Amino acid sequence: MFVVTKFGGSSLASAKQFKKVKDIVLADPKRKIVVVSALGKRDSNDSKITDLLYILHAHLKYSVPYEDVWKIIYDRYVEVRDDLKIDYKIEDELNLIKSQLDKNIPQDYLVSRGEFLAGKLMSSYLGYEFLDAKDAIEFNYDGTVNFDATEQKTKAKIAELKKVVVPGFYGAYANGVIKLFSRGGSDITGSIMAKSVNASIYENWTDVSGIMVTDPRIVKNPKTIKEITYNELRELSYMGANVLHEDSIFPVQELNIPIKILNTNEPNCEGTIISHECKDNSQAITGIAGKKNFVAITITKMHMSNEVGFLRKALSIFERYNISVEHMPTGIDTTSIVVARDQVEKCLYELVVDIKQELNAEVTVWEDVALIAVVGRNMANKRGLCGKLLTVLGENGVNMKMIDQGPDELNIILGINNCDYEKAIKVIYDNIM
């Protein structure tokens, strides 16, 4: 039985945090695979090592003196080692990296050293073996993960090494060249490890006691979600909820390995469990997320619904401009196509002209659209929820201009003006949650 345990940067920001990690890992002998991020911020004025490494790379690339940035990075790793009083000569690794610092050092390799060094320190501190992610996670040359090769390599390494620390955020192509995931990608490493060994659970330790129902910058101290399905979480993440890296859900979802979001600073808090099915189905709404800055392009043409191929033709124009469509609420003679503003900014005028000419239709454009996703696996069984949403928003002066319910009834998407965004989230949270 394996538990894969991933710790984010804030859980590794200092020796004090390393100690908490050790207590957590050693409390359960099933925690045999520990995945670590690079050292994170100790407080709000501090810097993340990954950010510093990107900056270091830019200095090297543009031949700007880099010693100061390098020294901050160097000192932080040495300081953690000293504070933990471990007998590990991290200077050797640091000096090896230093010797490679020149204009041509590949960015992915340099940035991956943040996780690599954190992994080295943690393995020495825990007494676990170090498993370099380049020997476990293999990328195809098109940038996707080669899951078969990864599973084979990981299984073989775990069978040999038993208990390991794996640095997150990177892997390598078959030729050994290091490749990074996108930012926040240590979550993906954890998920891939869990899939490869068919773990009983994937624990993701961070600095919050689970996933919050909505954005705490908008609603003060929102409730924590105890249970959520993978699909609900994907809906919320897609609409901006910043919890786990989006790509970290698929690998474990496939094998139905539950993910737990836990707090390194409060290890006894229950956190949030993400799985296929949840026991508690009393709440209609699981979470509320949203994003600003969409554009709704409304196309109107009499008898549009009777014109075979009309929607296909409309969508093919968007495809030609390489614009991905977010939502498409449709009436008899009218359809609205909602897209992210940054996708149409450069070509809005040309796009509208093409739609008018090719479809012989009227077009109106509504800019400054915010979308709010109200997500819940139990919404399908609750009558009157949409009505209630419309009522409370109306009563509180939010002009709702669009509503779109997913066919699986897992979400309701509301379109409002950007300026009403925060207010609408508060109103929904206060009145419906």
Positions in the binding site for ligand ASP (CB under 6 A) = 8-9, 37-38, 48, 50, 114, 168-169, 183-187
Q: Least CB distance from residue 49 to ligand ASP, whole Å? A: 7
Q: Least CB distance from residue 362 to ligand ASP, whole Å? A: 46
Alpha carbon 203 to its chain centroid, in Å, reads: 15
Q: Which is nearer to ligand ASP, 143 or 309 (CB)?
A: 143
Q: Least CB distance from residue 149 to ligand ASP, whole Å? A: 22
**Tokens standing for 327?**
């939502």
**Tokens standing for 328?**
């498409």
Q: Which is nearer to ligand ASP, 188 or 414 (CB)?
A: 188
8 Å CB contact between 337 and 317: no
Residue 335 is which amino acid?
Answer: T
Phi-psi region of 139 (alpha: psi -120 to 50; beta: other; left: phi over 0): beta
Q: Which is nearer to ligand ASP, 114 or 222 (CB)?
A: 114
Q: Which is nearer to ligand ASP, 25 or 428 (CB)?
A: 25
- Residue 433 CB neighbour total at 10 angstroms: 18
Q: What is the DSSP string of 334-350?
A: EEEEEEEHHHHTTTHHH
Q: Which is nearer to ligand ASP, 114 or 119 (CB)?
A: 114
In the chain the first and final C-alpha atoms are separated, in Å, by 38
SS3 letters for 355-369?
HHHHHCCEEEEEEEE
Residue among 253, 273, 281 nearest 376 (CA): 281
Task: Quote the CA–CA distance of 294 and 63 in Å, as a whole number.
Answer: 40
Q: Least CB distance from residue 424 to ligand ASP, whole Å? A: 30
The DSSP symbol for 320 reads: H
Q: Which is nearer to ligand ASP, 184 or 258 (CB)?
A: 184
Q: Least CB distance from residue 8 to ligand ASP, whole Å? A: 6
Q: Which is nearer to ligand ASP, 106 or 329 (CB)?
A: 106
The DSSP symbol for 132 reads: -
Please report how the helices 385-395 and 421-432 are oriented relative to each other, as an axis angle in degrees rounded to 10. 130
Task: Quote the CA–CA distance of 33 and 3 in Å, as a whole number.
Answer: 7
Q: Least CB distance from residue 159 to ligand ASP, whole Å? A: 27
Q: Which is nearer to ligand ASP, 8 or 222 (CB)?
A: 8
The DSSP symbol for 265 reads: T
Q: Least CB distance from residue 406 to ligand ASP, whole Å? A: 29
Q: Which residues contact 388 (CB under 8 A, 6 or more apart)?
A: 431, 432
Q: Least CB distance from residue 13 to ligand ASP, whole Å? A: 12
Q: Least CB distance from residue 391 to ligand ASP, whole Å? A: 42
Task: Quote the CA–CA distance of 24 and 21 in Å, as a whole number.
Answer: 5
Q: Which is nearer to ligand ASP, 114 or 290 (CB)?
A: 114
